[in-house]
Structure 1
């Protein structure tokens, strides 16, 4: 096994951070399970990143892949296998992961050759790249037909392990395709981030005007309400004075045209200001997006001339 590169630890750290968010969001993972999952994820990413020379954004595709698998696993367990014990769920969770890494280790030479070919002649993601998802999706759909409340718990455990075993078998057999898919996704991420690097300055300019819009109209809402004898807002169903922070919050949700309904203008004067902000915001969004796109399409020479 090749020496682990410094980038592998960054990849492992990023993936571990994503997994931490997933585990905290799920909320049903105890401390021991979390440590085991966390360690396994770090080890697997370091292994995969060091064995296969992917792009510098390969870690993002791996992190997304593992996080997505964790979310789907939690969904199917909650929907179809809530009766399975935590220890068995842990074993079932790791089965496809171990199957995948076992398959990549067996086919590591052929996968490396595919990686080199794809880096020279990148064709992007195709139907062939994701064909392995169809049998896995079929297994997931079949689990919805399990009569959860009418079968013995033992048979439920057997069906759970049979499902995870089927997924493990598929992932092991097509591990070459899965690894290629992740590497292709990493190349796409790399190309995407290289493109958006050129848009940092126009995006920052747009964000500046956006924040000015929020602040100016937020200040107006606060000033109108604070220095008049009439209360202009209904907050949480109660007509009362709007605070400084609430005025900025109301400006943001008005600018984005979200309209949660927790803060409502009740006087014609403020309704008129709200209408003006909505029009200004739409114009800012349209022209701002247009300017960013025109900047991205112009070459470096034209930018220097400007």
Structure 2
């Protein structure tokens, strides 16, 4: 059974479907059909992969990231190269590569399960094969964008898209071992990241608190200065702006992060000088964040070495 009584599947399922639902909503430019196909594919993919590889959250996140990347790239290429393809054929084209990959997983689940449980590190042969697979995908995507398929009739656009998706599906089925091994690599990476995040919680929280403090203090200063001034200290595309706290808070987020949207800017020399001070404070805060994160990482590494003992790894 896929869903056992211990609910080991629940967290991986929620993570997979959460990301899948977000991507489905994000790519839903033209109606509800395609987002429903994306969401359903995410659910089917989780059911198959968790049945064959009943691993934890890290493996599910790695698979979900791969699925989200595929959905995003498919949407960009499909909507650009085949803008008038019928919705039914768009959904079929999206489903074909995933279905081919999952079917290949079911056919070879024994050797693939052993591969996942072994957790081998990537070697040159694996990297060469997975690189060849992604190169072929890039060539197919480039060909789709280069050929003037958008001049074809809607039905023909859909058929060409389905044919290309079928070719990708065949490549995915052939490279199923390398793709599953890539998922294992992603799971190992997610596991390593999650272990490091614990050591970074304190410096990240401290950085966020100081960032909030600087932003709020300068927002108040700008708001008070503008309120006491007889003339507006800030301007925008449509002329002078009288700052409320929301505008001041937005301006300070943009200033301290050095984004510079250009929707609000200071026109008074004093306000400009205060903005420069805030930018300097933001740069100092950034250096503090780098220092604290690096120090926490080094401390965590030293603690692990001490726990391992003189002969430990």
Query: TM-score, structure 2 length as denominator?
Result: 0.86
Bigger mean CA offset, 34-43 vs 72-81 = 34-43
* Count of paired positions: 300
Task: Give, in angstroms, the shift of residue 3 of structure 1.
Answer: 5.4
Cα–Cα, structure 1 residues 300 and 165, in superposed 2: closer, same or farther, change >3 Å?
closer
| Runs of 4 or more consecutive aligned structure 1 residues displaced over 4 Å after TM superposition | 1-5, 123-126, 149-155, 299-302
Task: Give, in angstroms, the shift of residue 2 of structure 1.
Answer: 5.7
Cα–Cα, structure 1 residues 235 and 29, in superposed 2: closer, same or farther, change >3 Å?
closer
Task: Give, in angstroms, the shift of residue 196 of structure 1.
Answer: 1.4
The gaps in structure 2 that reach 5 residues or longer are 304-313
The answer on whether the counterparts of 1:8 and 1:46 sit within 8 Å (CA) in structure 2 is no
Cα distance per residue 1:178-199 (max 9 Å; x no partner)? 1111121011011111111111
The answer on whether the counterparts of 2:256 and 2:278 sit within 8 Å (CA) in structure 1 is yes
Cα distance per residue 1:23-73 (max 9 Å; x no partner)? 222233544554444233213202202311434311211211111111111
SS in 2 for 1:94: helix
The residue that corresponds to 2:173 in the other structure is 172
User: 1:84-163 residue pairs with structure 2 within 5 A?
Assistant: 84-118=85-119, 121-123=120-122, 127-128=127-128, 130-131=130-131, 132-148=133-149, 151=152, 155-163=156-164
> What is the CA–CA distance in structure 2 between the aligned matches of 1:182 and 1:124, rounded to whole Å?
15
Cα–Cα, structure 1 residues 164 and 300, in superposed 2: closer, same or farther, change >3 Å?
closer
> What is the CA–CA distance in structure 1 between the aligned matches of 2:276 and 2:63, rounded to whole Å?
45
The gaps in structure 1 that reach 5 residues or longer are none
The residue that corresponds to 2:244 in the other structure is 243
User: 1:148-227 residue pairs with structure 2 within 5 A?
Assistant: 148=149, 151=152, 155-227=156-228
The answer on whether the counterparts of 2:84 and 2:150 sit within 8 Å (CA) in structure 1 is no
The residue that corresponds to 2:307 in the other structure is none
The answer on whether the counterparts of 2:16 and 2:60 sit within 8 Å (CA) in structure 1 is yes
> What is the CA–CA distance in structure 2 between the aligned matches of 1:151 and 1:31, rounded to whole Å?
25
Query: TM-score, structure 1 length as denominator?
Result: 0.88
Cα–Cα, structure 1 residues 262 and 149, in superposed 2: closer, same or farther, change >3 Å?
closer
CA RMSD in angstroms comes to 2.5
Cα–Cα, structure 1 residues 220 and 135, in superposed 2: closer, same or farther, change >3 Å?
same
Bigger mean CA offset, 213-222 vs 139-148 = 139-148
> What is the CA–CA distance in structure 1 between the aligned matches of 2:129 and 2:14, rounded to whole Å?
27
SS in 2 for 1:239: strand
The answer on whether the counterparts of 2:28 and 2:34 sit within 8 Å (CA) in structure 1 is no
Task: Give, in angstroms, the shift of residue 169 of structure 1.
Answer: 0.6
SS in 2 for 1:127: helix
Cα–Cα, structure 1 residues 258 and 34, in superposed 2: closer, same or farther, change >3 Å?
closer
Task: Give, in angstroms, the shift of residue 204 of structure 1.
Answer: 0.7
Task: Give, in angstroms, the shift of residue 223 of structure 1.
Answer: 1.3
The residue that corresponds to 1:259 in the other structure is 260
Cα–Cα, structure 1 residues 27 and 138, in superposed 2: closer, same or farther, change >3 Å?
same
Task: Give, in angstroms, the shift of residue 273 of structure 1.
Answer: 0.8
User: 1:287-302 residue pairs with structure 2 within 5 A?
Assistant: 287-299=288-300
SS in 1 for 2:265: strand
Cα–Cα, structure 1 residues 2 and 149, in superposed 2: closer, same or farther, change >3 Å?
closer
Bigger mean CA offset, 74-83 vs 267-276 = 74-83
The residue that corresponds to 1:272 in the other structure is 273
> What is the CA–CA distance in structure 1 between the aligned matches of 2:54 and 2:229, rounded to whole Å?
66
